[in-house]
Structure 1
């Protein structure tokens, strides 16, 4: 019995050393990576790649209760806006030119946060998690504006953060 515990402890020590070496190599690669590496925002529920950081854009709305700029996934000055829906729920929303989302339902004109745009719920194409809203100019309206996606910040995960998560089996926890 004692030998089993000793072997398990040695194996754990070897695994921890290997994880440390791997972490050092990853940090080295990240520091020396070229600018060609594209950061993604992932679905917080299943990890699917949803939007490229380079597709984030500023689309201000007068319906926002509050606005702030922040750095998200390596992009400086991303506009984060706080909105409240008719059910009194608050959402911090960022906008993107495009995103890997599935549109759900018919477009709605009422209660839009961007005048002149109708909206549809956007969900993750893999797991169906609510990620935000797809906006398009009102039908029949000649608009210079293009479609865009409003993404709920709390329902996304930064790829860089997700890549650094470490899951430890319960048997190794003290």
Structure 2
């Protein structure tokens, strides 16, 4: 029903401004990010944003999670382990441990492990601004791409039995 309603709004010329139609269209195509291990909703792609790390080994832009030009950064920890992450303003995760200022990929931010609140799988890290720092964003999350899935991708994995495809 909701999809039909959105279709009508986007294809009707009554008094909706072009801006309103673009806004509704943009929100309609966004998707939830899910924990790869248990499938719990952990974030909304609406909150993805570009927060560059000066320590990124590689930066790339891709269309994913219903958004265009999502920044993907390849980061390497002190043990040589590589992670591809996306940065997001809001995520549902349990922060584990006290904030750690050492070895942060984002200067001026301390990090804590961000875990799925449902199953405990590490999703990435929460980065929190220090008290004496003048950062424009107080906190954000770096989600590991290998540990999250887009809901549209998971929907594509579900096959309808042939008996229903008449």
What TM-score does the superposition give when structure 1 sets the normalisation length?
0.74
Q: 1:167 and 1:55 mapped to 2: Cα distance?
A: 30
Write out per-residue CA displacement over residues 31-83 of structure 1, whole angstroms, 9 at most, x where no aligned residue.
94963434111000000111111100000011000000001111001110000
Secondary structure at the aligned position of 2:106 is classed as coil
Question: What is the aligned residue count?
Answer: 141
Alpha-carbon offset, residue 138 of structure 1: 1.3
Q: Which residue number in structure 1 is paired with residue 108 of structure 2?
A: 116
Structure 2: runs of 5 or more not aligned: 9-23, 161-166
- The root-mean-square deviation of aligned C-alpha atoms, in Å, is 2.2
Instruction: State the distance in 2 between where 1:158 and 1:119 align.
Output: 24
Matched, 1:160 2:157: no
State the SS of the aligned residue for 2:153.
helix
From 42, 45, 51, give the equivalent of 2:37.
45
SS at match of 2:73: strand
Pairing partner for 1:89 from 61, 78, 81: 81
- Structure 1: state its 5+ residue gaps: 1-27, 169-174
In the alignment, the residues of structure 2 paired with residue 65 and residue 71 of structure 1 have an alpha-carbon distance, to the nearest angstrom, of 20
- Partner of 1:16 in structure 2? none
Q: Computing the radius of gyration over CA atoms, which structure comes out larger, 1 or 2?
A: 1
Distance across 2 between alignment mates of 1:144 and 1:64: 20
The CA distance in 2 between the partners of 1:91 and 1:137, in whole Å, is: 21
